[in-house]
Amino acid sequence: MKQTALYTGSFDPITNGHLDVVRRACRIFDKLIIAIGVHPSKQPLLDVEERKKLLEATCSPVAKETGTELVIVTFNDLATSAAARHSATTIVRGLRDGTDLDYEFQMAAMNEVMAPDIQTIFFPSSPGVRPITATLVRQIATMGGDVTPFVPKAVAQSLAKKYQKG
């Protein structure tokens, strides 16, 4: 039986931490659906089409290397609803630290009540990506800083174009 996982997030922007989770998930699952959360009340740094393109550019080589089918979608409802819609039996999440652990455990417990057939798997972050957050990357980028240590090359190039001075 084909094992399908759903990885949700805003991916605004995609970080090396996100890519770390994708690498780990691709080693386990036959199909990985990356689901970009779209919320009308939030003002993203990158529009959803650009995030889709960047996810495709950065994650496709990882999926291809492991033979994992990769699908990139958007959703604007519950993660459990998106998982069910795409026949995913697992939601994957990354954990950087204890703060993430507390929040993600709460979310996993709520998801399990709403959708008992959908499991959550947590991947601890690799040490090199543990401090990276999309929020900090956005702050660095909007202030003209160098984000290359924190994001894939295509993302760094996209952000540099968006925020180049002069």
Q: Which residues are annotated as a binding site for substrate?
A: 10, 42, 79, 93
Q: Which of 20, 25, 35 is nearest to 68 (CA)?
A: 25
The answer to whether 11 and 33 have CB atoms below 8 angstroms apart is no
Distance CA 21, CA 11 (A): 12
Binding site per annotation, positions for ATP: 10-11, 18, 94-96, 104, 129-135
Is the Cβ–Cβ distance between 2 and 67 less than 8 Å?
no
Binding-site members are: 10-11, 18, 42, 79, 93-96, 104, 129-135
> Is there a cis peptide before residue 61, judged by omega within 30 degrees of 0?
no
CA 109, distance to chain mean position in Å, is 20
- Cross-strand pairs, 8: 35
